[in-house]
Amino acid sequence: MIRIGIYGYGNLGKGVELAAAQNSDFSLVGVFTRRNPEKVQTLTGAPVYRAERVTEFADEIDVLVICGGSATDLPEMTPALAQTFNVVDSFDHHAKIPEHFLRVNEAAMAGGCTALISGGWDPGLFSLARLYGEAVLPDGVSDTFWGRGVSQGHSDAIRRIPGVIDARQYTVPVASALESAREGEKRAFSAREKHTRECFVVPAEGADLAQIEREIKEMPDYFKEYDTTVSFITLEELREKHSGLPHGGTVIRTGETGGRIKELGGATERTDRPRTNRERIEFSLKLESNPEFTGSVLVALARAVYKMSARGDFGCKTVFDVAPADLSPKSREELLKALL
Amino acid sequence: MIRIGIYGYGNLGKGVELAAAQNSDFSLVGVFTRRNPEKVQTLTGAPVYRAERVTEFADEIDVLVICGGSATDLPEMTPALAQTFNVVDSFDHHAKIPEHFLRVNEAAMAGGCTALISGGWDPGLFSLARLYGEAVLPDGVSDTFWGRGVSQGHSDAIRRIPGVIDARQYTVPVASALESAREGEKRAFSAREKHTRECFVVPAEGADLAQIEREIKEMPDYFKEYDTTVSFITLEELREKHSGLPHGGTVIRTGETGGRIKELGGATERTDRPRTNRERIEFSLKLESNPEFTGSVLVALARAVYKMSARGDFGCKTVFDVAPADLSPKSREELLKALL
């Protein structure tokens, strides 16, 4: 049994809780929250503790899954907790990953712990697809498309506009760009060419709709660089049609093999010269629940962290360091027979 | 520089040769063949040696890629060579993998070598897709579809029929089954439901076409269990339209997350009970050249074998044991920045 704890109990923490319950080799020691534990009811009846008490459980928890936000929570939490616990986080601020890695590595090495950062699906499974694609087809081009799915960050950005009660933003891949990428068209897409943004907004009574729409569409980084549509709906419609958190996406690698004989010694005259062939690798996800799926990935990674730690493989890790066998509860013999 | 040798020089050996030339961290020491080396001309001008001479190159080759057949070559070659060389093979006789693993492991451990067996795309990348899918979505179902692509084994089987000069067999996935699998329909497909077989046959002059067609369609294991179509064509048409070796396929994992609260403590009354959500993971390949792509995978695996061997990680390995980072020529820092 792998005994895990969940540190932070929002959507992702709940996803981890439910995923752990689906894996018979896991037991959930408890949920740790900064809120008042008496006011938090877990989905599975798992006990709830104050976040400060987590170190009391150092001997009872094999892996702590940290479910905080990447903006301010994880940069503090993960290095602090990795001194005492084997941990998994889902840090997804791409540009700051190298810095986070170094800080977590220092803490984990000092504590003799194994810490996996940036787990989930992007970063995570999509990162793996990008790595496998590039390693196998070095002469090629990679593209990642996201959606159709709800972007929490973009939804939050809309909610901060005065006169907005609630909002949901869908990121939508542009079909023609997806097709171009599949055909191996070697070009860099602009942000606008790859994705559109669909916003469903609940306005306050009497709000200036034209003004809200303008503010959304002109918001730099979030919407200005995209073709954005804004639909105003009622709170009832939002709850009815947009209560889920679906997401997904596609990583495409196209590349060429063969050919190139000319560069390899002037053998262009040979009749057996192979032509260049085009190969395509595609990895895609279609998720009804982004947080539940992400939680499922984190639980599989927690299993790998548990095994790596047991082998004395300490320090900071990413999905790139995880031997796939470590993600599975199956033995080597079972894996060879059933999955290879 | 990773110095590799190629043992066996058919379509796959040529694919490895061309792939090595695409990777600047590889150099090709030579090709080893059981044919007369003077009659073998390599695509890149790499030197050719008699197979028996391979052990003379023990100090010059970091990884030997063994490109023999799974039926009779690899069961002998890989254990024999793994005593002296780090090796990679593409053994694909699924039922015999556990036995092959044990024999190769014994040899590699005795010789202090690292041996990766069953590399390529199936077994290989598809095995990885199956493992990742199952580890992340334990409550789910996996399906693998192959094609549209040329099956060498089935083409060979047709060629052995009297009156057949040449033949090409395409394995074709059934679109409706693929769609059912994508929708997460939990059922076991029969062989006939998943794939059809298209045969293009060049008959000898005056051959009994009806008899050839009957023999193909009734061949057990190969064709009898499938809906098979047979088209008779000329040798010119075969050469013109069917000279390539395209292949590909799709691994689909669908699974459910969330829900199941009832089983977790009778909490069915709770209003916050999450519904069950369906998630889908799909990995697909579309290849113009099966042997060139397979060769590309073997070269990436040879890089991993080289690194594992350098760390003293000896014995028999499969793709399940390879940390993804070992497949890439990039440093950890580069991987974190560019791909995570």
Confidence band, pLDDT 50/70/90 cuts, at residue B259:
confident
Instruction: Report residue B275: phi and psi, to 5°.
Output: -80, 165
Nearest to A300 among B136, B321, B329 (CB): B136
CA B136 – CA B132 distance, rounded (Å): 6
Identify whether residues B116 and B129 lie together within a single domain.
no
Does a cis peptide bond (omega within 30 degrees of 0) precede residue A123?
yes
Residue type, position A74, single letter: L
pLDDT digits (tens, 9 = 90+) for B64-90: 999 999 999 999 999 999 999 999 999
| Order of all β-strands in the sheet with B315-317 | B48-50, B26-33, B2-7, B63-66, B86-88, B114-116, B315-317
Question: Any idea what the Cα angle at residue A29 is, between residues A26 and A31, rounded to 5°?
Answer: 115
On whether residue B225 sits in a domain, the answer given is yes
Q: Cβ of A289 and B277 within 8 Å?
A: yes
Question: Any idea what the Cα angle at residue B109 is, between residues B104 and B115, rounded to 5°?
Answer: 50
Residue A177 near chain B (CB below 8 Å): no
Domain count, chain A: 2
Burial pattern A121-142, b for ≥16 Cβ within 10 A else e, equals: bbbbbbbbbbbbbbbbbbbbbb
Distances (CA, A) of A241 to A167, A168, A197, A233: 12, 10, 17, 10
Beta carbons within 8 Å of B67's beta carbon, 6+ residues apart:
B6, B7, B8, B9, B10, B12, B13, B16, B90, B298
On whether residue B149 sits in a domain, the answer given is yes
pLDDT digits (tens, 9 = 90+) for A55-93: 999 999 999 999 999 999 999 999 999 999 999 999 999
Q: How far is CA A170 from the centre of its chain?
A: 16
Domain containing B170 equals 125-289
CA A217 – CA B32 distance, rounded (Å): 64
Nearest to A136 among B244, B274, B297 (CB): B297
Identify whether residues A280 and A209 lie together within a single domain.
yes
Instruction: State the DSSP H helix or E strand holding residue A252, giving kind and residue range, or none if neither.
Output: strand A247-258
On whether residue A338 sits in a domain, the answer given is no
Does a cis peptide bond (omega within 30 degrees of 0) precede residue B123?
yes
Distances (CA, A) of A224 to A9, A147, A202: 33, 18, 20
Q: B98 to chain A: which residues are within 8 Å by CB?
A: 333, 336-337
pLDDT digits (tens, 9 = 90+) for B267-306: 443 434 457 999 999 999 999 999 999 999 999 999 999 9
Nearest partner of B75 among B65, B89, B86, B85, judged by Cα: B89
CA B24 – CA A257 distance, rounded (Å): 14
Residue type, position B3, single letter: R
Residue for token pair 């045969």: B199
On whether residue B8 sits in a domain, the answer given is yes
Q: B97 to chain A: which residues are within 8 Å by CB?
A: 336-337, 340
Judged against a pLDDT cut of 90, whether residue B213 lies above it is answered with yes
CA B120 – CA B90 distance, rounded (Å): 6
Pairing of strands B247-258, B140-146: antiparallel
Judged against a pLDDT cut of 70, whether residue B143 lies above it is answered with yes
Q: Cβ of B323 and A328 within 8 Å?
A: no
Nearest to A285 among B263, B281, B319 (CB): B281
Identify whether residues B50 and B115 lie together within a single domain.
yes
Confidence band, pLDDT 50/70/90 cuts, at residue B265:
very low
- DSSP bridge partners of A292: none
On whether residue A281 sits in a domain, the answer given is yes
Identify whether residues A136 and A267 lie together within a single domain.
yes
Q: Cβ of B22 and A257 within 8 Å?
A: yes
Written as six digits, the tokens of B113 are 């070598």
- Specify whether the CB–CB gap between B224 and B192 falls below 8 A: no
pLDDT at residue A260, as a whole number: 55
Identify whether residues B116 and B13 lie together within a single domain.
yes
Pairing of strands B164-173, B149-150: antiparallel
| Residue of chain A nearest B264, judged by CA positions | A44
CATH code for position B185:
3.30.360.10
On whether residue B339 sits in a domain, the answer given is no
Nearest to B257 among A138, A248, A293 (CB): A293
- Specify whether the CB–CB gap between B43 and A273 falls below 8 A: yes
Distances (CA, A) of B168 to A108, B234, B293: 57, 12, 19
On whether residue A46 sits in a domain, the answer given is yes
Please write down the long-range contacts of A11-14, taking CB distance under 8 Å and 24 or more positions apart.
A11/A245, A11/A291, A12/A67, A12/A90, A12/A291, A12/A294, A12/A295, A12/A298, A13/A65, A13/A67, A13/A295, A14/A43, A14/A291, A14/A292, A14/A295, A14/B274
On whether residue B299 sits in a domain, the answer given is yes
pLDDT at residue B185, as a whole number: 80
Confidence band, pLDDT 50/70/90 cuts, at residue B119:
very high
**What letter does residue B161 receive in the DSSP assignment?**
S
Identify whether residues B131 and B252 lie together within a single domain.
yes
pLDDT at residue A250, as a whole number: 98
Interface test with B, best of A275, A279, A303 (most B CBs within 10 A): A279
B 107-126: CB under 8 A from A: 118, 123, 125
pLDDT digits (tens, 9 = 90+) for B100-114: 999 999 999 999 999
Identify whether residues B96 and B137 lie together within a single domain.
no
Residue A324 near chain B (CB below 8 Å): yes
pLDDT string in tens for chain A (340-residue length) = 999 999 999 999 999 999 999 999 999 999 999 999 999 999 999 999 999 999 999 999 999 999 999 999 999 999 999 999 999 999 999 899 999 999 999 999 999 999 999 999 999 999 999 999 999 999 999 999 999 999 988 999 999 999 999 999 999 999 999 999 999 887 789 999 999 999 999 999 999 999 999 999 999 989 999 999 999 999 999 999 999 999 999 999 999 999 755 444 444 444 344 579 999 999 999 999 999 999 999 999 999 999 999 999 999 999 999 999 999 999 999 999 999 9
Identify whether residues A141 and A218 lie together within a single domain.
yes
Identify whether residues B285 and B297 lie together within a single domain.
no
Identify whether residues B320 and B251 lie together within a single domain.
no
Nearest to B335 among A131, A296, A339 (CB): A131
Residue for token pair 């992007």: A122
Residue type, position B50, single letter: R
Identify whether residues A63 and A159 lie together within a single domain.
no
CATH code for position B48:
3.40.50.720
DSSP letter string, B280-304: EEEEEEEESBHHHHHHHHHHHHHHH
User: Given 3-state DSSP classes, what are the helix, strand and coil percentages for chain A, each rounded to the nearest 5?
Assistant: 40, 25, 35
Residue A311 near chain B (CB below 8 Å): no
**On the CB side of A106, how many CA atoms lie within 13 Å of its CA?**
7
Identify whether residues A45 and A91 lie together within a single domain.
yes
Written as six digits, the tokens of B248 are 């590909």
